[in-house]
């Protein structure tokens, strides 16, 4: 899902974040050596048919679900996610969790799903409707006991602090269906399902606005069963996204003829019957299916990197749509090269109309939604950054397919870094805003946001454990991205992207957990980087580098009483016969993270000297003897440490006491000049 487009990667032109020469690591094997799994394991296959009534905003669905127990344990019940019920009433987990963030505005119309039948097919062809025995409300039966269950038990050292206590007794988004008999490991069951649904007025990802319909989380969806036999089921929490098993989707959509459809997967059949448009979309190797229908869509088609791209946009948005296509032309091949080839034949981009903005900035398999008003100036990169962000999800949410509820950082966080990297590669320093001389970088915005909440709570926690939507955004998105960007700038951009590329390839279709990510970084970049990431993600890791003192004075000879050659000699203080200046700098690293860093010394004759400090200890005194007085010291002079909590204490000058030459603070001439000019312009705007 999109990150807030802050109304605002610093990539220097020359290999910016340091290059391989800076890296202490050995050169890596080519990324192509990391095998990419050819296809996902089919766990659950859906064959569905959905008929939309665009006036009543309802749909009728029916079809078949074939589910296989791929765990090591027998299964006695089935968990179904009925996420459209998140919008049924204010007692749902989604609407009752008042944490702010996206989707907080009241919907103008309720939405819900009613399952009519869920018939388990027997071997002899007979059927048994399981739905009468289903437990839908959380207050019922075993649902209450299951509250709080997430995909994996808490890991050692992984705090589950802050999880809310609400039990959501009346939530109807997470249903347990008792099975008449256990399903053995490897066994398959077939279910015939019939359901009716009312879409809400557009609210976070789904719903209608006029005749525009964005239909996500719309069918009864089997939760993922972990290999251990534990169901990764959870209600639709306000800050949470999704998690499911891979499978094949064969979905036939039935809408009025004048409607244009966009959906997950390729349309393999399209007919018009009795005034209805009927399209059949089929896609293997995905874990969700979403679609959209609108009678005003304008369609653009292109082929990018061998992928058939369909872009659906409102009338009048042609210029924005072209910008989104341009973003895809860069990002599709770029992400494929970085994180493994995009394995699907199609990609659909939906730009919702202005009054359905809540549907914008969302990812589904082979379908993403972008956003931005039709009049957006070219220098404000909202359509580009949202398109690239949602496209990046195809690799992390879509292909790696982590549990977005339990570990949002593995999707939104890593994808945010992928976005920052791609935007910088494509657009340079003004990757978010580049207009009238103002250049604002995506990485820089993430850095400021990430530092703002670093002491509040960990990055690596379940979505519903975050205290607020603001912290969820700052930590999951911004902090993760700025930590990884810092690693890239310090240890080498190629090494970092290589590590993430190995992770994305190795765990494609594999539902990894944070330990897997850390293992890959340990393997490819070494233990220090892995430990840094662990501390940053799990332990609220932070760091503040500072220049804590700068001294310089003319070199002095040794003075005092000396016993030399049997005689006692007193030497008075005075200038050293060799001349020159003795200087020292005290640099500190506060906090729990550490990165090797440069310290730049500037001397009175204008010369500079850099020293590398590995910063594994908390402080170091750097001493220097040279022909000139030291006038200033700067730690991290290239601004590589985006996670530095306080960059404004990264420099210092001699205090000017005793025999130390005084260095007077300079004025701020650029600030004076620009502030004067801007104020003059403002005055001219209001002057009579």
Partner 1 sequence: MTGPAASDEPVDDEWADAPFTAGRAADARARLLLRPKSARRARMHPFAILGLWAWQTALSLGVAIPAAALVARVYGMHPRADAPLWDAGGLALMDFLWRDARALSPVAATAEITLVVGAVGGLLPAAAVMMAMGRVPRHRTAATLSQALSAALWAMPAFSFLLVVFALVQGATLAMGYGVTQLVESTTTGLGAVRAERLSIASGVVFLLLASGLGVVHDLARAAVVCARARGARAIVLGARAFGAAPLPLWWSWAWRGLAAAVPVLAVAFFTGTVGGRGGATLALVAMLHQAVILARVSLHASWLARALRAIDGWPA
- Positions that interact with partner 1 (CB under 8 A): 8-10, 210, 296, 314-317, 353-355, 374-375, 429-430, 436-441, 443-445, 447-448, 451-452, 602, 631-632, 634, 639, 642, 646-648, 651-653, 663, 665-677, 679-684, 686-688
Q: Rounded to the nearest whole angstrom, what is the least distance from the CB of residue 353 to partner 1 in the complex? A: 5
Nearer to partner 1, 112 or 317 (CB): 317
Q: Rounded to the nearest whole angstrom, what is the least distance from the CB of residue 349 to partner 1 in the complex? A: 18
Nearer to partner 1, 453 or 461 (CB): 453
Nearer to partner 1, 155 or 610 (CB): 610
Q: Rounded to the nearest whole angstrom, what is the least distance from the CB of residue 546 to partner 1 in the complex? A: 12
Q: Rounded to the nearest whole angstrom, what is the least distance from the CB of residue 346 to partner 1 in the complex? A: 27
Nearer to partner 1, 94 or 297 (CB): 297
Could you please report the per-residue DSSP string of 173-211?
A: SEEEEEEEEEE-TT-EEEEEEEEEEEPPBSBTTBEEETT
> Hey, what are 447's tokens?
């850095």
Q: Rounded to the nearest whole angstrom, what is the least distance from the CB of residue 323 to partner 1 in the complex? A: 16
Strands laid side by side in the 112-121 sheet: 127-129, 112-121, 188-198, 58-68, 44-53, 247-256, 276-286, 266-273
If 0-12 CB within 10 Å is exposed, 13-18 middle and 19+ buried, where does residue 272 land? exposed
Nearer to partner 1, 228 or 676 (CB): 676
**Alpha-carbon span 421 to 9, nearest angstrom:** 7
Nearer to partner 1, 169 or 680 (CB): 680
Nearer to partner 1, 27 or 668 (CB): 668
Q: Which of 423, 520, 596, 604 is nearest to 10 (CA)?
A: 423
> Hey, what are 535's tokens?
């501390």
Q: Rounded to the nearest whole angstrom, what is the least distance from the CB of residue 425 to partner 1 in the complex? A: 14
Q: Rounded to the nearest whole angstrom, what is the least distance from the CB of residue 88 to partner 1 in the complex? A: 28
Q: Are residues 414 and 402 in contact, defined by beta-carbon separation less than 8 angstroms?
A: no
Nearer to partner 1, 291 or 294 (CB): 294
- Residue with structure tokens 């950082």? 409
Torsion angle in degrees (nearest 10) through CA of 351, 352, 354, 357 = -110
Q: Which of 570, 555, 611, 558 is nearest to 587 (CA)?
A: 611
If 0-12 CB within 10 Å is exposed, 13-18 middle and 19+ buried, where does residue 604 land? middle
Q: Rounded to the nearest whole angstrom, what is the least distance from the CB of residue 549 to partner 1 in the complex? A: 12
Find the length of the chain: 688
> Hey, what are 40's tokens?
């996902």
Q: Are residues 268 and 253 in contact, defined by beta-carbon separation less than 8 angstroms?
A: no
- Cα angle at 28 between 25 and 32, to 5 degrees? 160
Q: Rounded to the nearest whole angstrom, what is the least distance from the CB of residue 671 to partner 1 in the complex? A: 4
Nearer to partner 1, 578 or 684 (CB): 684
Q: Rounded to the nearest whole angstrom, what is the least distance from the CB of residue 648 to partner 1 in the complex? A: 5
Could you please report the per-residue DSSP string of 293-345?
A: EESS-EEEEEEETTEEEEEEE-TT-HHHHHHHHHHHHHHHHHHHHHH-----S
Nearer to partner 1, 223 or 642 (CB): 642
- Residue with structure tokens 């494509």? 426
Nearer to partner 1, 169 or 607 (CB): 607
Which residues are bridge partners to 178 per DSSP?
Answer: 77
Q: Rounded to the nearest whole angstrom, what is the least distance from the CB of residue 313 to partner 1 in the complex? A: 10
CA-atom Rg of the chain in angstroms: 30
């Amino acid at each position: 899902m999109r990150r807030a487009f802050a109304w605002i990667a610093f990539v220097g032109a020359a290999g910016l974040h340091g290059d391989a020469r800076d890296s202490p690591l050995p050169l890596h094997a080519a990324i192509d050596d990391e095998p990419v799994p050819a296809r996902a394991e089919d766990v659950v296959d859906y064959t569905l048919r959905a008929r939309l009534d665009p006036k009543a905003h309802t749909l009728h669905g029916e079809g078949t679900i074939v589910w296989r127990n791929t765990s090591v344990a027998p299964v006695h019940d089935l968990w179904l996610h009925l996420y459209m019920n998140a919008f049924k009433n204010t007692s749902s987990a989604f609407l009752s969790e008042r944490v702010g963030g996206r989707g907080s505005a009241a919907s103008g119309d309720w939405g819900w799903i009613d399952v009519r039948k869920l018939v388990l097919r027997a071997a002899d062809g007979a059927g048994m409707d399981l739905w009468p025995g289903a437990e839908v409300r959380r207050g019922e039966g075993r649902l209450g006991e299951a509250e709080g269950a997430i995909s994996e038990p808490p890991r050692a050292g992984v705090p589950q602090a802050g999880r809310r206590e609400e039990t959501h007794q009346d939530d109807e988004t997470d249903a347990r269906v008792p099975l008449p008999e256990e399903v053995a490991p490897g066994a398959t069951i077939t279910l015939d399902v019939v359901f009716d649904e009312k879409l809400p007025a557009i609210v976070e990802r789904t719903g209608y606005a006029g005749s525009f319909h964005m239909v996500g989380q719309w069918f009864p969806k089997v939760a993922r069963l972990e290999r251990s036999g534990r169901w990764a089921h959870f209600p639709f929490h306000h800050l949470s996204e999704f998690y499911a098993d891979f499978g094949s989707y064969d979905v036939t959509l039935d809408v009025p003829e004048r409607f244009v459809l966009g959906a997950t997967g390729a349309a393999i059949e399209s007919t018009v019957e009795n005034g209805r448009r009927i399209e059949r979309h089929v896609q293997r190797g995905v874990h969700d299916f979403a679609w959209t229908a609108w009678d005003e869509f304008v369609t653009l088609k292109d082929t990018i990197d061998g992928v058939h791209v369909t872009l659906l946009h409102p009338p009048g948005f042609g210029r924005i749509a072209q910008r989104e296509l341009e973003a895809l032309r860069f990002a599709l091949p770029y992400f494929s090269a970085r994180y493994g080839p995009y394995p699907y034949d199609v990609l659909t981009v939906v730009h919702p109309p202005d009054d359905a903005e809540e549907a914008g900035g969302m990812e589904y398999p082979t379908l993403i939604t972008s956003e931005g008003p039709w009049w957006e100036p070219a220098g404000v990169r909202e359509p580009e950054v949202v398109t690239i962000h949602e496209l990046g999800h195809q690799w992390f949410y879509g292909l790696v397919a982590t549990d977005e509820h339990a570990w949002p950082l593995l999707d939104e966080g890593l994808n945010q870094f992928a976005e920052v990297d791609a935007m910088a590669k494509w657009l340079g320093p003004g990757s978010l805003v580049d207009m009238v001389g103002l250049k604002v970088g995506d990485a820089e915005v993430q850095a400021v946001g990430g530092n703002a909440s670093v002491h509040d709570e960990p990055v690596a926690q379940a979505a519903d454990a975050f205290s607020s939507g603001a912290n969820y955004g700052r930590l999951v998105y911004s902090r993760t991205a700025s930590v990884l960007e810092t690693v890239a700038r310090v240890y080498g951009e190629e090494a970092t992207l290589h590590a993430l590329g190995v992770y994305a390839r190795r765990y494609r279709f594999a539902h990894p957990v944070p330990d897997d990510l850390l293992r890959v970084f340990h393997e490819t970049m070494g233990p220090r980087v892995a430990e840094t990431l662990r501390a940053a993600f799990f332990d609220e890791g932070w760091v503040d580098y500072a220049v804590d003192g700068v001294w310089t004075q003319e070199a002095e000879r040794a003075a005092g009483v000396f016993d030399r050659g049997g005689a006692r000699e007193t030497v008075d203080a005075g200038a050293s016969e060799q001349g020159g200046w003795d200087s020292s700098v005290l640099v500190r690293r506060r906090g729990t993270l550490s990165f090797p860093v440069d310290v730049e010394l500037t001397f009175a004759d204008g010369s500079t000297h850099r020293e590398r400090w590995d910063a594994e200890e908390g402080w170091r005194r750097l001493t220097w003897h040279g022909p000139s007085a030291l006038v200033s010291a700067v730690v991290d002079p290239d601004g590589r440490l985006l996670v530095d909590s306080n960059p404004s204490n990264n420099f210092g000058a001699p205090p000017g006491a005793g025999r130390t030459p005084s260095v007077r603070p300079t004025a701020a001439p650029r600030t004076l000049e620009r502030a004067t000019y801007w104020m003059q312009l403002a005055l001219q705007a209001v002057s009579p």
